[in-house]
Structure 1
Amino acid sequence: MLIRLILVFLCLALPVAAAPIRIKDLVRFDGVRGNDLVGYGLVVGLNGTGDGLRNSPFTEDIMSNLLERLGVNVTGEEYRPKNVAAVFVTATLPPFARAGTQIDVTVSAMGDAKSLLGGMLVMTPLNGADGQIYAVAQGAIIAGGISAEGQAARVVQGVPTSGTIPEGARVEREVEFDFAGLTNMRLALRTPDFTTAGRIEGVINRELGRGVALMLDAGTVALDLGAARARSPAHVLQQVENLTVEPESVARVVVDQRSGTIVMGEDVRISRVAVAQGGLTLRVEEQPMVVQPNPFSRGETIVVPRTSASIEENPGSGLAEIQGETTLSRVVAGLNALGVAPNDMIDILKSIHAAGALHAEFIVR
């Protein structure tokens, strides 16, 4: 029987002969991180797709405050423009960003605006978690969708109420961080693993000298920057980040029940086990019949229900034995020998895992 199976096999755990990976791709350097910024402002120039001020009174407040700062007195005035929208502006301040650096920002509508397409963000300060202003954003918005409507229909594609401004904010305040004065630094592994951390420690000590690196746990390697005898911490990290190691990962099986996708790592192992698979198919069909009264009678036309039901038992694949193999290709061959549909394969893997024969982390999404 031909196997109609949707299996995607990706190496979540690297094979034994994996290519070396740079340390900069395996770890994060402690202290070298971005900072989130947020602000709220006003978008103008919309083509009648802005906020309805009755439903979004905060838009009127923002607009009044802005006009007051510009010297326009609107106290007591009633105005209902449809071309403005209140928005949240978010950005990430990258590490080592200096004053004058331009960064990207994301703009999202706060009220009931229908689209930000063609809008212009008015000067908006962006605050950090400490309440200080670190950047100021302004510029034309590139919306991520389009919206069109008529009297009886409306079409929306994408998300027109959100957009971006490339390099739309300029850094005004730098984050204080004395990087040059550091004497110690920790490397945080993106995927904690004792073997990988030990290999990182070993390759750094071989390159920079014994005692520079020390593995603290599965996710942390400490660096003694002073023992490296370099001109600055930046020179030490410049040497460390380009060193290569062969990482290790936990064996995993990931299944997506919605799409019937199964992802298995190279290190997945299955102990010797026997599997039988089969099922029942219940079919119910409705074939109503119309019954007419006799000619010239006073009867009524009625519909008589007619239902047919049947149960079919699928023969299944019988009892198939999956040998305990040492390679992914042989494990796959054993599973494919069952010749079942994707959803049934997921159920089989669940059962094998429950029986203790699947030696891997089993993740169901």
Structure 2
Amino acid sequence: MKKIFLLIMMISSFISPIYAEPSSRQLLELVDVLGVRDNQLVGYGLVVGLAGSGDKAQVKFSAQSLNNMLKQFGVTMDESRLPKSKNIAAVAVHATLPPMASPGQAIDVTVNSLGDAKSLHGGSLMLTPLKGIDGKVYALAQGNLVVGGMNASGKNGSSVTVNVPTSGIIPDGAIIERNAADMFQLQPNVTLNLKEPNYQTARNIVKAINKVFGPDVATAENWGRLKVSAPIDANSRNTFMSMLQDIRVEQGSQQPRVIFNSRTGTVVMNELVKVNQAAVSHGNLTITITEVEGASQPNAFANGRTMPLQSSNVDVQEQRSGMLLMPTGTSLDEIVKAINALGATPSELMSILIALDKAGALEAELLVI
């Protein structure tokens, strides 16, 4: 049984919260512009040229896709006898259409296997249309795959896999064929959405914009959305946005926050996190049970029978550690260092933080993702 005793002496709860000093940042680092956004594209395609590592015969849709492709080139086959080939693989293709992208520009695409292909290494993607959420084709993808993974298997079924061999990319593998709707130029006003809603930040942005362009040019609808009057002409609006980009704004006070990733055990916190006066005790109990098998052997002329015996050994280990004394005013990051020095895992650290939050001693927002 391993116990970790922590005595945390911090500032009392009646002390007002400590906030970070405001930092000056460029305006467009704090906001997103409505209408200036990426658009997701997706498509279904066929990868050919695989060295026997493609989909197997039981994956019917890859064979059907090959048959449909051959029909486009005048090759007809019996529908009841689909072609069987291990050199092809059905794949999902997706890409991101950048804002203000124009036809003729190239974008990267990602290709992922849909069937039971072992590897896409050495394959080439056949011409694949990429569609948006509206069902329209915005790009065409084709090219040779770059696969970072590797798979090797033997005849007895043993195999070795490195990274993910069933996923790859094609740099500049898609050509844009259609413009996305330009909502940015259609609106008489520019809408700015704060990446982190904050009343003080919104107020500072409005003051900074009106100081440069005049009163009532910018208004705040709420703590996360701002309206800015802008020229309709495309060239004038571009100049206006370049001036907005250079405006520096004092970011509002940030709240202390602790983020814990339950899947990876990662704990991240900002420098504002503090705890009030509290005492924390945390420990683990380790019990080892060992099964021992034996036999009872009678004497040579005792006319007895050999009987199996089974016993269990239970071992409880306890390791005691000294008590840590923290002076008043110790920040939480120093406490975390002390906990790590004792060999506590991230999960144990998070258990302590959750207990502090439930006890009302943690001056921070606790987010578990």
The aligned length equals 349
Q: Over residues 231-260 of structure 1, what are the superposed CA-to-partner deviations in whole Å (9 max), with x where a residue is unaligned?
A: 522222211123223333331123456766
Equivalent residues in 2 for 1:150-229, closer than 5 Å: 150-152=154-156, 153-177=158-182, 179-226=184-231
Q: Which amino acid aligns with 2:107?
A: I
Larger RCO (alpha carbons 8 Å, 6+ apart): 2
Q: Which amino acid aligns with 1:150?
A: G
Distance 1:220 1:320, change over 3 A: same
> For 1:213 and 1:263, how far apart are their aligned partners in 2?
35
> For 2:258 and 2:166, how far apart are their aligned partners in 1?
38
Three-state SS of the structure 2 residue aligned to 1:241 is helix
> For 1:320 and 1:276, how far apart are their aligned partners in 2?
13
**Aligned twin of 2:70:** 67
Report the Cα offset of residue 310 of structure 1: 6.5
Equivalent residues in 2 for 1:42-191, closer than 5 Å: 42-52=46-56, 54-75=57-78, 79-152=83-156, 153-177=158-182, 179-191=184-196
Distance 1:74 1:217, change over 3 A: same
Report the Cα offset of residue 336 of structure 1: 6.7
Three-state SS of the structure 2 residue aligned to 1:232 is helix
Q: Over residues 81-102 of structure 1, what are the superposed CA-to-partner deviations in whole Å (9 max), with x where a residue is unaligned?
A: 2211121111111111111010
Kept after mapping to 1: 8 A contact 2:34/2:184: no
TM-score, length-scaled by structure 2: 0.81
> For 1:78 and 1:23, how far apart are their aligned partners in 2?
59
> For 2:332 and 2:20, how far apart are their aligned partners in 1?
16
**Aligned twin of 1:10:** none
TM-score, length-scaled by structure 1: 0.82
> For 1:345 and 1:50, how far apart are their aligned partners in 2?
46
Are 2:351 and 1:347 aligned? yes
**Aligned twin of 2:11:** none
Distance 1:122 1:301, change over 3 A: same
Q: Which amino acid aligns with 2:129?
A: P
Q: Over residues 57-94 of structure 1, what are the superposed CA-to-partner deviations in whole Å (9 max), with x where a residue is unaligned?
A: 22222212212212223346663222111211111111
Report the Cα offset of residue 22 of structure 1: 2.0
> For 1:139 and 1:334, how far apart are their aligned partners in 2?
53
> For 1:73 and 1:337, how far apart are their aligned partners in 2?
73
**Aligned twin of 1:33:** 37
Distance 1:317 1:278, change over 3 A: farther
Three-state SS of the structure 2 residue aligned to 1:160 is coil
Distance 1:79 1:349, change over 3 A: closer
Q: Which amino acid aligns with 1:197?
A: A
> For 1:126 and 1:256, how far apart are their aligned partners in 2?
34
Three-state SS of the structure 2 residue aligned to 1:143 is coil
Distance 1:171 1:269, change over 3 A: same
CA RMSD of aligned residues (A): 3.4
Identity over aligned residues, as a percent? 38
Report the Cα offset of residue 335 of structure 1: 6.9
Distance 1:121 1:276, change over 3 A: closer
Kept after mapping to 2: 8 A contact 1:274/1:321: no
Distance 1:361 1:74, change over 3 A: same
Kept after mapping to 2: 8 A contact 1:230/1:236: no
Kept after mapping to 1: 8 A contact 2:5/2:321: no
Kept after mapping to 2: 8 A contact 1:15/1:266: no
**Aligned twin of 2:10:** none
Instruction: Tell me which moved more, 14-23 or 242-251.
Output: 14-23
